Structure 1
Amino acid sequence: MSNAHECEGFNISDVKKLVETKGKNKILDKPFASCAPDTQWNKCAGSLLTPIAVQSACHCVARFEGANRKFRKPVLYKVWEDMFNIYPGVLPIDKVKGVKAKNYIRHPKCIQHNSTRRLFHDYGLIVLRSPVEGGLIRYAPVYTIRTLLDLWTGVMAKKSVCLNVGLGRFRLLEKPTSYPPTDPTNPTSLLHGWVQTMNYLECYDQTSRPKEFNYSDATWFCL
């Protein structure tokens, strides 16, 4: 889900292209280079449930308002004003045409705790205006029975793990100077990997604010 529509300026070559373009009010086949989707500036990722439905997060389809309250309520983006380019992660950036959203849907209990910015029921759905082409879909990784058995006996029987899919940071720095100790450069294509999850007490210790909210109401787990 690219936020390239928020580009605030063109480079010189794009200005020249704009001047020379015929039918300026028509939708361009390809975006201007300086405003093209880029994995370094993606807004969110999600999973394609059907050719026209993307499972994402509440914070991906809404902004939160109510700074003077204990909890901030989500306000859904407007599909005609927040026209994000939604494209498959398998597609090279220079080939992106993108699909627009027909509707944004959030979980009815989605809410954000003001002082901690913790999100409850952070689930969202994007309904697309047109289906994603089948040839562009990257399916979840397929494992053999033997590999899954090794994964279970060697890892999951001892501690839970989660399959993490996305375009986020994926390299640890050898000599970190800040937190998190990761390289801020994002990958150019969709990656996946198994990540160890924290148990209840570890997660509680990392995220709980007993005087702020009731942790038993939390709808998240910690990686």
Structure 2
Amino acid sequence: MADPATRDYCLRHPRQIIRIFGLGVYLRMMLDSRKSLLEAVSEAQARHGIALPGQPGNAYRIASVIEFRVARIYGLLAQRFTATPALHEFYRELQAEEEEHGRLMLLCMYTATNAPLLGYIPTLRDHDIRQTLRELRSIQAKAPQLTLDEALAVTEELEMSEINTIFEKLLAQTQHPATYFFRELMGSAEGHAESVPRRIRELRASLGLAGN
């Protein structure tokens, strides 16, 4: 089955894409082959949408910051291992996936329904959120110097951490057709908590490295 996030799918299913996301998004996908559907939708919402106010809106903004910071860490690790193509590509893929997660949180910020439907509203006052941001800043600072084993260990820790729980809880609260489309798409795919450890095992095997 074709991935609905690709330009090819959009061009072959114009009625569905226009009905859910509008003509402007469809035209952006036609004109720019490098753009993902989520990227085009997020840009359109940023231009014309109204962000969810108060703490609910801030919750999605915080989640997007977390996802983009993880993406930045993976980007730094991709640069760190440019001499090893398989590692470089692995981290580029993770970077792109986390950037999509960040865009989805921003899309939710423009499309989520306000309380009382939002039962989970993390804030910067929460100890876990502050701790997560501190840890991400620390990892980002150390990323350019990490060894291969350290980088892979950090990657698994990130994907098994509270970060994915925050993302999944916030995404589950949205009912807008646009976010529901992407939620269903991601729900049909293997999550990072399952896929990343497997991909790391496969990567280790392909590189002839010992480890689980």
**TM-score, scaled relative to structure 2:** 0.26
Bigger-Rg structure (1/2) = 1
Structure number with higher relative contact order (C-alpha < 8 Å, ≥ 6 residues apart): 2
Which is strand-richer, 1 or 2? 1
Which is helix-richer, 1 or 2? 2
